[in-house]
């Protein structure tokens, strides 16, 4: 299902000098694809990366252990890794020298022959992206998935784009900063809650970056937005594209919604029943919202309600996202290490039935903690804090819920095991980043799993 992109740009790749800045997964993939297409590529990183030479085509020039100003002055195109802020002096140098600055997502879009369905949002975007790809596959479409979800989108496009009916991508706000021509056939924004405010001036600025996903859309495209989220709902009116909403509490003119316990789809006509909301195999209101978003997007692309219902009944969720780890002595242990911001943790608490012992803390993002007050009041019996954020979290929550401190995650697990009663849930949902004690959120979740499974082996409750 070929689509036209800028043929002049892609055909001109062999004449371009391209610098790829940052050699994490997306940077390596971009450098390799561009070199194979004939560009003069320099790959640069501030760190020395042993073994990188063997991973890249020999045509790629490597500059490791620091950036060289002359390299950035001479480039035609700069491909920037998402971890590098727009204020970086080398990016500014390239711009001042006349270079075009793009992200790997933008590069993939320009090279992709198939329509792109793109999903962004503060929370839920990985699950919604996975669900969307799975529904499309269930409906008989070829819909490979990539982007911020793990596999670089440019790699997906290069290897599977030609045969794909759709390419499905998760997109972060950082990737959208340098995506000036990205035009997804369907653009989904799951929600916008406080996060990454070190990179964005305020919530309005953060929401505006997310909304760039929709900026280039036109007739034949669709935006899919959360009608229950004030920051996304403001983008429903206006625009030349179709507007679809998803909601747990409202009945939109078009989109996916819940009414009387049933999930419905309305795309350009009469409503269609998908399944009962209770049939969704993964628990929690946040997963219901993710599924509604995926249904609205997939419905616009041609998937029917039967495919959606089949996916609802078999989708088991993703690691580190409200992932059941064990039940020991009547106590459920749940790994929500991906709950790296206040909004995510508040939503996860709303999804748990019964009393909760909450393990929170880590690298503090400085966000307003007040959205956690009500779900904490209703559900949390004890809060055990770890990491750098423990002081601020304790000062805020002391007097609202019982608070304990633990030096490590292993100690926090032990404290919860000693205090938990049958019917309780011990929830790791930190509301913080992980970098004070762990490589990333996945490492933190893995450590939690190991600690809980060690308890099970000991026969502890």
Same domain for 291 and 348, yes or no, is: no
Asked whether residue 127 is marked as a ligand-binding residue, the answer is: yes
Same domain for 263 and 122, yes or no, is: yes
What's the CA gap between 276 and 213, in Å, rounded? 31
Query: What does the angle CA 399 – CA 401 – CA 402 come to, to the nearest 5 degrees?
Result: 90
Residue 6 lies in a domain: no
Indicate the average pLDDT of the chain. Answer: 95
What's the CA gap between 418 and 424, in Å, rounded? 12
Same domain for 247 and 343, yes or no, is: no
C-alpha Rg value of the chain to the nearest Å: 23
**Could you give the angle at which helices 125-138 and 305-314 cross, rounded to 10 degrees?**
120
Residue ending a domain, among 98, 133, 151, is: 98
Same domain for 308 and 344, yes or no, is: no
Listed in sequence order, the residues at least 6 apart from 302 whose beta carbon sits closer than 8 Å to its beta carbon are 139, 141
What's the CA gap between 88 and 46, in Å, rounded? 12
User: Average pLDDT in the 420-436 region?
Assistant: 97
Residue 197 has pLDDT above 90, yes or no: no
Same domain for 148 and 200, yes or no, is: yes
Same domain for 167 and 33, yes or no, is: no
Of the pLDDT bands very low, low, confident and very high (cuts 50, 70, 90), residue 461 is: very low
Closest CA to 207 of 187, 229, 222: 229
Query: What does the angle CA 234 – CA 267 – CA 224 come to, to the nearest 5 degrees?
Result: 30
What's the CA gap between 110 and 114, in Å, rounded? 10
Helix (H) or strand (E) holding 170: strand 167-170
**Does 320 participate in catalysis according to the annotation?**
no
User: Average pLDDT in the 371-395 region?
Assistant: 97
Choosing from 148, 287, 335, 341, which is the catalytic residue?
A: 148
Same domain for 91 and 158, yes or no, is: no
Residue 363 DSSP symbol:
B
The total number of structural domains in the chain stands at: 3
Name the percent of the chain lying above pLDDT 70.
Answer: 96
Asked whether residue 122 is marked as a ligand-binding residue, the answer is: yes
User: Average pLDDT in the 146-161 region?
Assistant: 95
CATH number for the domain harbouring residue 23: 3.40.50.720
Of the pLDDT bands very low, low, confident and very high (cuts 50, 70, 90), residue 201 is: low
The per-residue pLDDT for range 96-119, each reduced to its tens digit, is 999 999 999 999 999 999 999 999
Residue ending a domain, among 314, 336, 371, is: 314
What's the CA gap between 349 and 409, in Å, rounded? 19
- Contacts from 262-271 at CB under 8 Å and sequence distance 24+? 263/291, 263/292, 263/295, 263/308, 263/312, 265/295, 265/296, 265/299, 265/305, 265/308, 267/296, 267/299, 267/300
Same domain for 355 and 379, yes or no, is: yes
Residue 431 lies in a domain: yes
What's the CA gap between 137 and 127, in Å, rounded? 15
Asked whether residue 125 is marked as a ligand-binding residue, the answer is: yes
Residue 3 lies in a domain: no
Instruction: Enter the pTM of the model.
Output: 0.91
The per-residue pLDDT for range 156-175, each reduced to its tens digit, is 999 999 999 999 999 999 99
Residue ending a domain, among 98, 133, 163, is: 98
Token duo for residue 325 = 């780890």
Cα torsion 237, 302, 172, 389 to 10°: value is: 90
- Domain, as residue range, for 442: 323-458
Residue 350 lies in a domain: yes
SS3 412: helix
Residue 7 lies in a domain: no
Same domain for 248 and 380, yes or no, is: no
Residue 399 lies in a domain: yes
Residue 1 has pLDDT above 60, yes or no: no
CATH number for the domain harbouring residue 393: 3.90.190.20
Residue 27 lies in a domain: yes
Beta bridge partners of 226: 246
**Does 67 participate in catalysis according to the annotation?**
no
Same domain for 112 and 128, yes or no, is: yes
Same domain for 405 and 431, yes or no, is: yes
What's the CA gap between 306 and 299, in Å, rounded? 11
Choosing from 196, 365, 410, 443, which is the catalytic residue?
A: 196
User: Tell me, what's the pLDDT at 206?
Assistant: 82
What's the CA gap between 204 and 210, in Å, rounded? 10
The per-residue pLDDT for range 304-363, each reduced to its tens digit, is 999 999 999 999 999 999 999 999 999 999 999 999 999 999 999 999 999 999 999 999
SS3 223: strand
CATH number for the domain harbouring residue 216: 3.40.1190.10
**Does 125 participate in catalysis according to the annotation?**
yes
Same domain for 261 and 164, yes or no, is: yes
Alpha carbon distance, N-terminus to C-terminus of the chain: 55
What's the CA gap between 380 and 2, in Å, rounded? 52
Residue 1 lies in a domain: no
Report the DSSP pairing between strands 255-259 and 262-266: antiparallel
What's the CA gap between 408 and 451, in Å, rounded? 11
Of the pLDDT bands very low, low, confident and very high (cuts 50, 70, 90), residue 376 is: very high
Token duo for residue 79 = 């491909």
Listed in sequence order, the residues at least 6 apart from 421 whose beta carbon sits closer than 8 Å to its beta carbon are 330, 331, 355
Q: How many residues does the chain have?
A: 461
Q: What is the DSSP string of 282-339?
A: S-SHHHHHHHHHHHHHHHHTT--HHHHHHHHHH----TTSSEEEEEETTEEEEE-TT-
Q: What is the 3-state secondary structure (H, E, C) of 24-93?
A: CHHHHHHHHHHHHCCCEEEEEECCCCCCHHHHCCCCCEEEECCCCHHHHHHCCEEEECCCCCCCCHHHHH
Beta bridge partners of 323: 335
């Amino acid at each position: 299902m070929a689509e036209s992109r800028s043929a002049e740009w892609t055909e001109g790749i062999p004449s371009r000098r391209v610098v790829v800045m940052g050699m994490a997964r997306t940077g390596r993939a971009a450098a390799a694809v561009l070199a194979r297409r004939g560009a003069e590529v320099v790959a640069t990183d501030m760190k020395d990366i042993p073994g990188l030479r063997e991973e890249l085509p020999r045509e790629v020039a490597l500059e490791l252990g620091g950036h060289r100003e002359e390299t950035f002055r001479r480039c035609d195109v700069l491909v920037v890794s998402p971890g590098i802020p727009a204020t970086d002096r080398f990016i500014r140098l390239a711009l001042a020298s006349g270079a075009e600055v793009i992200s790997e997502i933008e590069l993939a879009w320009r090279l992709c022959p198939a329509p792109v369905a793109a999903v962004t949002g503060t929370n839920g975007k990985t699950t919604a992206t996975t669900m969307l790809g799975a529904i499309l596959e269930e409906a008989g479409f070829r819909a490979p998935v990539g982007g911020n979800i793990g596999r670089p989108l440019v790699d997906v496009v290069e290897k599977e784009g030609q045969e794909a009916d759709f390419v499905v991508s998760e997109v972060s706000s950082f990737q959208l900063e340098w995506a000036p021509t990205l035009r997804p056939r369907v653009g989904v924004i799951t929600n916008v809650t406080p996060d990454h405010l070190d990179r964005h001036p305020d919530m309005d600025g953060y929401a505006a970056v997310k909304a760039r996903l929709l900026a280039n859309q036109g007739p034949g495209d669709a935006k899919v937005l959360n009608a229950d989220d004030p920051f996304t709902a403001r983008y429903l009116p206006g625009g030349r594209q179709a507007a679809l909403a998803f909601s747990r509490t409202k009945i939109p003119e078009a989109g996916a919604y819940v009414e009387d316990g049933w999930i419905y789809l309305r795309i350009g006509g009469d409503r269609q029943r998908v399944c009962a909301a209770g049939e969704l195999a993964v628990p929690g209101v946040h997963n219901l919202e993710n599924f509604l978003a995926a249904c609205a997007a997939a419905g616009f692309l041609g998937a029917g309600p039967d495919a959606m219902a089949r996916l609802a009944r078999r989708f088991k969720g993703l690691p580190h996202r409200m992932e059941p780890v064990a039940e020991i002595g009547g106590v459920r242990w749940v790994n929500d290490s991906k709950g790296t911001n206040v909004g995510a943790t508040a939503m996860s608490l709303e999804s748990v039935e019964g009393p909760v012992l909450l393990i929170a803390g880590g690298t503090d993002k400085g966000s307003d903690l007040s959205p956690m007050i009500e779900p904490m009041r209703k559900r949390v019996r004890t809060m055990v804090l770890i990491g750098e954020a423990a002081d601020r979290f304790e000062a805020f929550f002391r007097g609202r819920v019982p608070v304990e401190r633990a030096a490590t995650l292993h100690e926090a697990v032990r404290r919860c095991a000693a205090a938990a009663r049958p019917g309780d849930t011990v929830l790791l949902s930190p509301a913080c980043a992980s970098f004070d004690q762990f490589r990333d959120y996945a490492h933190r979740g893995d450590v939690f799993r190991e600690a809980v499974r060690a308890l099970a082996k000991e026969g502890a409750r």
